Amino acid sequence: MIELNNIIKSHKKTDRNVLYHFIGYIWIDMEQEIPIDGTEIKVGSGYDFSAERTKKRTLLIQHTDSRSIAVKNPVYLEWYGLSYSIPQENMNIQKNKKSELESGKIKLSILENIHGCANPGEILAIMGPSNCGKTTLLNLLGDRLGNKGVQGTITMNGLKPTKNSMKYLAYCTQDDVFFPQLTVKDTLSFNARLRLPRDVPLHDKLKRVDAIIQLLNLTKSAHTKIGNNRNRGISGGERKRVSIANELLTDPSVIMLDEPTTGLDAALALELTKILKEFAIKQRKTIIIVIHQPSSQDLNVTPTTILQIIYWSF
């Protein structure tokens, strides 16, 4: 369950008088919470699932050295007291405050004391209005903002992330950048040759490409050009899936996606959500997505949804 003590504040000082809200929820498949010792669980039995997750996480840590996380291991990503601030730009401050501003003493808080976790086999969705800090939180978890202005602790399987362990984390940005003249399969094959280790034979790399194409339902468009605004190519939903496919080539343990359903209609967004859910459960992957506003159908994809709403304003 994600726990947020304070709301993510707006990046824009002009929006301070607007009431912002931040919604965090996790899609959970309860079938993944069956105890490892085979104990039968009954509804209303009061079984402590959090204690069971601690057992599983402990078992994983025992098989992980202090420097890295095995790529095939499920990853429990947790963060505590996570805060992020930036120097505040305000030209109307008093003159005696100018020196403090230049020295970085006056700061604008973007995130404040946020706690949460993302578990294998689940999709954690971060939802909120524009400019509330959703992508900032995702960037912090993905170690894309550096250490300046950052406070708090992030752990992977109970260990502090290292440069080596972060290799098993994939980040899919909101904007897609492809060569329009290449087909879907050519695009993925090109990326596989660049990103997969040199000691992996070429035929194994191509097998990996074919498996990802089948996994994301891209078989029909595998030999269709990506295209662009001038030259017609694959659809918007297929472009999103190709972007995700690029990140899945390296078999990451944690996948982060920044607004993967933006620009898609309700049907395509629902299809993509179902694909991600199935992938998370079958492959025991930890998936975190930023989503602006899901439809009711998206929320009904999984059997259990935990929803927490927190309001913040001046």
Compute the distance between CA of residue 209 and CA of residue 214 in angstroms, rounded to an integer.
9
Quick one: three-class SS letters along 206-263? HHHHHHHHHHCCCCCCCCCECCCCCCCCCCHHHHHHHHHHHHHCCCCCEEEEECCCCC
For residue 170, the model assigns a pLDDT of 92
The 10 Å Cβ neighbour count of residue 247 is 20
Query: Would 58 be classed as within a structural domain?
Result: no
> So what's the pLDDT on residue 245?
93
What's 183's DSSP letter?
A: B
Q: How many domains does the chain have?
A: 1
Question: Is 194 inside any structural domain?
Answer: yes
| pLDDT per residue as tens, the chain (314 positions) | 444 433 333 343 333 332 233 333 333 333 333 333 333 333 333 334 344 444 444 434 333 333 333 345 789 999 988 888 887 765 454 545 555 545 556 778 888 888 888 889 988 888 777 777 888 889 999 888 888 888 889 999 888 888 888 888 999 988 888 999 999 999 999 999 999 999 999 999 999 999 999 989 899 999 999 988 888 899 888 998 999 999 999 899 999 999 888 878 888 888 888 888 888 888 899 999 888 766 666 555 543 343 444 444 44
Tell me what pLDDT residue 81 has.
87
Range of the domain at 305: 3-36+66-312
Query: Does residue 271 fall inside a structural domain?
Result: yes
pTM above 0.85, yes or no: no
Cα–Cα distance measured from residue 245 to residue 121, given in angstroms and rounded to the nearest whole number: 18
224: left (phi over 0), alpha (psi -120 to 50) or beta: beta
Pairing of strands 254-258, 304-312: unpaired
Q: Does residue 18 form part of some domain?
A: yes
DSSP 10: P
- Residue 44 belongs to some domain of the structure: no
Residue 49 lies in a domain: no
CATH number of the CATH domain containing 70: 3.40.50.300
d(CA 31, CA 121): 10
CA dihedral 276, 278, 281, 283 (to 10 degrees): -80
Give the per-residue pLDDT at 65: 39
Amino acid letter, residue 272:
L
Assess if residue 50 is contained within a domain. no
Please check whether residue 120 is in contact with residue 74, taking contact to mean a CB–CB distance below 8 angstroms. Answer: yes
Q: What is the pLDDT of residue 16?
A: 31
Domain assignment of residue 13, yes or no: yes
